[in-house]
Amino acid sequence: MKCQYCEKPATFHITELTEPGGPSVMHLCEEHARSFLHKDQGSPAASIAGALAKQLNLGQTKAELAELDQKECPVCGISFFEFRSTGRLGCPYDYKHFEADLTPLLTNIHDSLQHVGKQPRRAAASADNQAQMIQLRREMEEAIESENYERASEIRDELKRMEEEAAGKADAAENQDSAQNDLSENDSDSGASSS
């Protein structure tokens, strides 16, 4: 995503909730985020601006910033200034070399320092369900080993119910996907016939 005011990569995404028409979202590069925060110091959101200013290290002197910009990776040779300009690192070692400077930036952008990837919407419920079924199977085995057959049969019935429920949800999701595909095919067919 690019800065709203220039073509640099947007590294700060600021949402203001002060407007009566709803939230206002700004996507800014570091330079424009700094100027926005300086401009906003007198507003009621000054405490938020102060927190962001701290994140941006606005208290740093020009000499400190110049020194940081000159810092280079010994492996690939990219400088921190080049990274700030392009928004791209040169090699995997850069994460280690610029760690102290990247940590607040990555935390601000991604809310985390660990990449966990994406999951399909249905995957979270499915994973929880599978974990519960695994636990129930273990409990059933323990009940059989301790010769508590009544409890084992209750667990077996619960597992069967969960498996049937999961199969029903999978069928419903598959039917929904195929219905959406049919609708999109009908839309494309009707668009072609009306031309």
Question: 2-55 pLDDT, tens per residue?
Answer: 888 888 888 888 777 665 666 778 888 888 887 777 665 555 444 455 555 555
- Identify whether 194 is part of a domain: no
**Per-residue pLDDT tens over the stretch 48-87:** 555 555 555 555 566 777 777 788 889 888 888 888 778 8
- Identify whether 71 is part of a domain: yes
Alpha helices in the chain (DSSP H): 30-39, 46-55, 62-70, 80-86, 94-97, 99-110, 123-145, 149-194
* 173 and 129 fall within a common domain: yes
* 54 and 73 fall within a common domain: no
Entry pTM: 0.34
Q: Determine the residue type at 47.
A: S
Distance CA 140, CA 152 (A): 5
Average pLDDT, the chain: 76
Domain count, the chain: 3
Domain hosting residue 47, numbered range: 1-59
| pLDDT for 175 beyond 80 | no
